[in-house]
Structure 1
Amino acid sequence: SGRGAFYVIVMTKDRQPLPFEQVTIGEFLTRLESRLPTMYSLAKNGGSQLPDLMEKAKAGLQELKKQFKDYHDKFAYFRGLHENADMIDLANIDAGKPITWLKTEAESKERDYGSSNYALLRLKKGVKQACATGGPQWIVFRMEAMINEADAGNTELMDNFINRFNYDYVYDYYFGNDKVITPYQPHAYVAAEEKNNNQAPAVLSETAKKYAADRSIAFYEDFSGVAIDAAPAAWTNERNQSGETIGVKEVAGIGGKWLKLQKNAAPRQFNTISGDFEFSFDVMVQKGDVPWGTPGIRLDLKFGSGQGDKTFAVDVSPGDMNRKDAAGWVMLTMPSSGCKIGNY
């Protein structure tokens, strides 16, 4: 919509199409002319100070008629989703200049707002009467949220909205033949691991079992206990804007399981460490997977101190793996550490 993302599901009575029909250019122009006095009152009550508003709007309407005189049988489309033709729009129409906000086709060649135009619709005859006497004819389920495929919380919200909400209950309640008296219940949550029933259940590796009992090991993860293609419950793992599924993978010719990275990933719980420690991790990048401009892989280690939290980072970029002359680099960030560091 251009004003924040949202997701809509529409349910209709008896599963009929939505009761709207398109408006032609001729019908639109006729309605505009008949509504001019009302539109003028709305503009004045809204505080418009434009001089000679009615005269200018009438002149603009005549220019509108002139430019669209051969398209009366075509359907009317607006260039923008939130377009609302009013007196100011009519008054600002200049003779001889093309009118850009009214279209006669669903797709345009202009690229300023994208190619899609938005149909002007009206309710079919009899719909208002049906709503007044027969109850709702359609129900709109609208999720007002910023839907960002990269945000794990929004991903779970979308999953709930689509898969857990009991739409059948709502349909039966409003549109069913029998009165619904049972209380509402959402659909049961199904973990990602359970959705792939053809796989054998994942079990921890011997190394993971051994290190879990070793008190000198603060944290260990090899993803052996996570099913292939499932998102590990003990990790946050953001997806990128492509919306591609993320999770644990196997790679042909290489042992073990790997967490596929697209954006940020982090263990949900990490034991507090004091004193010296060793940290290591394995990263695999395959040729062709990293396009030019990729920011690389950055590891952040956050430390608490009397002066507040500090972030130590190791940033590794492969450069362009498809070109020999575009080298990568390693960059260290160690705030106020006193360590002598150098970047390569």
Structure 2
Amino acid sequence: MNPSSICMPTSPSSSHSLLKPNRSSLLGVSLVPLKPLLSCPVKRRGHCLTTTRAILSTSRELVLKDFQERRALKIISGLRNLDRHNVASVVTAADKGGATHVDIACDPELVRLAISLTSLPVCVSSVDPSEFSPAVEAGALMVEIGNYDSFYELGVVFSPEQILNLTRETKRILPSVPLSVTVPHTLSLPDQVKLAELLEQEGADIIQTEGGKCSNPIGSGVLGLIEKATPTLAAAYSISGAVKIPVLCSSGISSVTAPMAITAGAAGVGVGSAVNKLNDVVAMIAEVRNIADSLNVSGTSKAAHKDKSLMCNQIL
């Protein structure tokens, strides 16, 4: 989808060795909700549908569990990042560093790559709801409307009405798949809170904040890191007090400010450029580990789940 067809320009002028696949995915589930039903005998199709819904419900609960426990750490490779090597490095870093989720571009091939490298839930990001279904069929367990930073660089912003429409369409297409929606920092804090409340009413499961792109820290070191995270921390504090669903504090977050996000009311943090801009997978793993440790997120708590399948010929 052409971003300019749904967004508004801000100005007229803005026109390795560690990459070893484990080939497992959460629950061993391949989310293909339609094909299994087609393979079932007509007399058993109702049974298959009931079983499919039960497995989808279980998957949904597991994907959202870390958010509900306020310990989520989502590592983000980037909405427009289609570099397989970089994405593989980011996914590996998330897996080895102790993250709870990984967020990649909404591309089925990248999803298949990601689930060959990690058992973490894979989230895909897009601003085009029609792109989600193929990614979910490939194995993504969560979808995200957001990660708008790359569009800001093009002079493009999203209005509340556009985001609400994208949310409604996504819920229409994938009503059972966990949905996260980013509230843009281009809105004032009161307007961010209002949009978050409306998104909750539309069925969003998670609200994600942002703000790193609008922050211009003056200080260096720890002071600079805190200044960098101030806008998204403020959004997390304001929004978490207004909605009942989890809030993920993202953009400009580091190991210094991740615990502050939790204190501010967030259910977890999303980290992008602090990891995906590093050139070495070992450095990426170390950074993820630093952030995970700051949140007391233990990678060892991720016990292996029993393999399940949605294929009706295995359910019968």
* TM-score, L = length of structure 2: 0.23
Higher relative contact order (CA 8 A, sep 6+): 2
Please identify which structure carries the higher strand content: 1
* Higher helix fraction (1 or 2): 2
**TM-score, normalization by structure 1:** 0.22
Larger radius of gyration: 1
